[in-house]
Structures are given as structure tokens and as C-alpha cells.
Amino acid sequence: MDTLIERAVSSVDPFSHAFLENPYPHHEAMREAGPVVRLERYGIWAMARHQEVRDALTDWQTYCSGAGVGLSDFRKEPPWRPPSIILEADPPLHTRTRAVLTRILSPAAINVLRERLVQEAEVLIGRLLEKREFDGIAELAEAYPLKVFPDSVGIAEEGRENLLRYGSMVFNGFGPRNDLFDKAMANAGPVRDWIMSKCSRAALAPDGLGMQIFRATDSGELSEAEAGMLVRSFLSAGVDTTVYGIGNALYCFANHPEQWTTLRENPSLMRLAFEEVLRFEAPVQTFFRTTTKAVDVGGVQIGEGEKVLLFLAAANRDPRRWERPDQFDVRRRATGHMTFGTGIHGCVGQAVARLEAEAVFGALAKRVAAFELTAEPTRRLNNTLRGLDSLPLRLVPA
């Protein structure tokens, strides 16, 4: 006799303000409801347990990206922009584009940036120490990546504010057409035009990461148009993710001063500490996949062509995987979190993200004893990202 498994159903809206303000109780409810949960409101499936999220991410043949990694199914409605040829692609196209970025963004290749990124962090932290009180989001979490990332790609200075506007479009664009989506897309035309104008060979510095992509056209590995599309991927994925990551790290250390002390006393914990931030307050909360065939998940049948919402941030706090999951602890082995994803689409830029964080928090650890909140932080809601709009801080010098 077959075992009958009751299918878990939820009426929750994971893109509502209430959910996004505090997703954690909802994550727990979804994890406990079952290995996969039907979200009635959107007619989609959701996974919130570490094992199931991981299994879906490592099975691209069943859980594809080519139909989009947001709610919208590209096979049923036109995407708001031409699909990314790496994020929203499957093998064999993905294999070819990914190989180029894997090479350009390898830890060894990215280490070349270290000296300049550390220098920029030290200059910025020196200025902020003089100011003493400032907004940790605008003046640090945004200011640092907005300087070093476009410098590294090889983009001109003028108009860089468009990078955050475009990031908001991209990451809100993975959600439903709700108020957050509409607000992000309100000025889409000029922002998109600016971004696309920076993706041509002519707009890029000769020694940057962007031009390195264009060099892959020499061997015929990529076409000229594909190289431009991969520069667009840099500009889409490389700014907001690190802005929210650095902002969330500041938020964690301001709220857990004893963890900052532990880190300062043990500088070798720096890399693990940033992984713990990514686990505990994941800047990227979710991605979707689309099933290519019917699949059984823990006894529940999912049909072909179904959207599956993967809660990376819920996997990061699954008690089946983590001890004391709701505790921020820089000493734990936080690697294995799902914030960078895993499998063939696992974050190709993670060496850059880690280097930026190491530079900023390394500079802070040398000179800052504590972070004091001078007012309540406010949240910036986003259909995909979790982070702050403002984080009023006072630095206590070491």
C-alpha cells in the first residue's frame, strides 16, 4: 500500500509587508508544515528546510532556471528585461557563460583587488571615525561597494546612483507585481538605459573586470552581445547583494556587541564571522526554480512546470541542520548556509563579496571598539533582499 502524505497548504503571502518585516516566524511555520508547502495565494510551492532547499539547488535537471528565478514563468509571460544568460539560463548556455565568470572571479584572480579594496576601506573608516556619528547604510554599506565595485568593473564615476536603482528593480522584480515591484519599476526606462550604456566595450576601462569579459570574445567563447549581457549581470548582482550584506553585518554587530568583542580578540574569526552574518541575516532571502518534470518531495507530488520558492534564509535557521539556529554566534561553523546558493548556480561572485566584507570589517576591527545605535534602524522592504534603509550609528574608538 502507498503511504498517503497530507499536502501542507499555507495562505501566507511571503511578499507582504508583514512577512518581509519579520519573516522568521513564517519561516518556522513553513519548515514545520512539511518538506514542501503549497502557497495558495500564488499557486506555487515553497521549500524552507535545509535538506530540501539544498537538494533542489543541486538538481538543475529537475529544478531549472531558464523559466526565470522569480515568480514569473518566462514561458507564460514575457520577462520585464531580456533574461540573464547566466542566472536565468540552464546548461548548455549556462555552462559556457558560467565558465567565463568562474575564471574572471576566481579567488586567485580576485585577490589582485585586495590591496586597493583594503586601502579604500581604511580611508572610508578613517573618515567615519572622524565623523563619529553617521548612517551605517548610506555612508558605509552603500558608499563602500558603490565605490569599489564599479571601480573594479571599470565603469565611469558619473551616474553610479543608477546602480542602486537598477538593483532595486532586479531584486524586487523577482517577486509578484505588488507595490514594491511597481515602486521599483517607476523610473525603469532611464535607469535601464544608463545600465545598458555601461555594458558596451567602449564604456569600459581597459584593465577592469568588465573588459576581461569582452576578452573572452577573442577566442570565440562568447559573442560581443553575450559579453555585454554578462557585464549587465555584474551590474545587477554585484552591488545590492554586498550593500545588504555589509549593512546586515553592521546591524548584527551593533545588536550583539559581545560578538564584536569576540571577533576583535580573535581576528582569525573574520571570515567565519561574515559567513555567520550571511547565515543569520541573509541579504538574499529567496530564489525560485521551475520544475521540468513531475517530482516527489518527501511523499508530496509536484507537477511539471510548477514554480518552487526556495527559502534560503529559512534553510539557514533550520534546527534540523543547525544547533541554536536563532543565535548569532561568530564562532560557529556557518559554512553550509544557503545564502550563496549551491550547485551550478552557486554565487560566482562570492570571492568578491567576502573580500569586500573582509576589507571593511578588518578596517573596523582595528579601530572600533563598539557600535552604538543612536536611533532605531528602519527596514527597506524588498521582494528578495533583507536589509535596512537606515542604521544610525555612533562609533566607539578603540
Question: Any idea what DSSP says for residue 2?
Answer: P
- For 107-129, give the DSSP string: HHHHHTTHHHHHHHHHHHHHHHH
Residue 87 C-beta: closest distance to ligand OVM, Å: 4
Which of 70, 62, 39 has its CA nearest to residue 291? Answer: 62
Grid cell locating 340: 550563496
Which of 38, 345 has the CB closer to ligand OVM?
345
Helix spans in the chain (H):
17-21, 24-33, 50-57, 93-104, 107-111, 114-131, 143-153, 161-172, 179-184, 188-197, 209-215, 224-237, 240-255, 257-265, 270-280, 312-315, 350-367
Residue 136 C-beta: closest distance to ligand OVM, Å: 23
Residue 233 C-beta: closest distance to ligand OVM, Å: 3
Residue 120 C-beta: closest distance to ligand OVM, Å: 23
Which of 12, 237 has the CB closer to ligand OVM?
237
Judge whether 300 and 34 are in contact, CB under 8 Å. yes
Q: C-alpha angle 217/223/226, rounded to 5°?
A: 110
User: Which burial class, exposed, middle or buried, applies to 345 when counting CB atoms under 10 A from its CB (0-12, 13-18, 19+)?
Assistant: buried
Which of 166, 253 has the CB closer to ligand OVM?
166
Which of 234, 251 has the CB closer to ligand OVM?
234
Residue 245 C-beta: closest distance to ligand OVM, Å: 12
Task: Please enumerate in sequence order all residues whose Cβ is within 8 A of that of 4, keeping only pairs 6 or more positions apart, or say none.
Answer: none
Grid cell locating 103: 575564471
Distance of CA 267 to the CA centre of its chain: 25
* Euclidean distance between CA atoms 245 and 250, whole angstroms: 9
Which of 133, 193 has the CB closer to ligand OVM?
193
Which of 48, 237 has the CB closer to ligand OVM?
237
Phi, psi of 182 (to 5 degrees): -60, -40
Using CB under 6 A as the criterion, which residues of the chain lie in contact with ligand OVM when the complex forms?
84, 86-87, 170, 232-233, 236-237
Residue 279 C-beta: closest distance to ligand OVM, Å: 17
Which of 36, 56 has the CB closer to ligand OVM?
56
* Euclidean distance between CA atoms 367 and 129, whole angstroms: 8
Residue 221 C-beta: closest distance to ligand OVM, Å: 17
- Residue 256's SS3 state is coil
Residue 303 C-beta: closest distance to ligand OVM, Å: 27
Which of 85, 263 has the CB closer to ligand OVM?
85
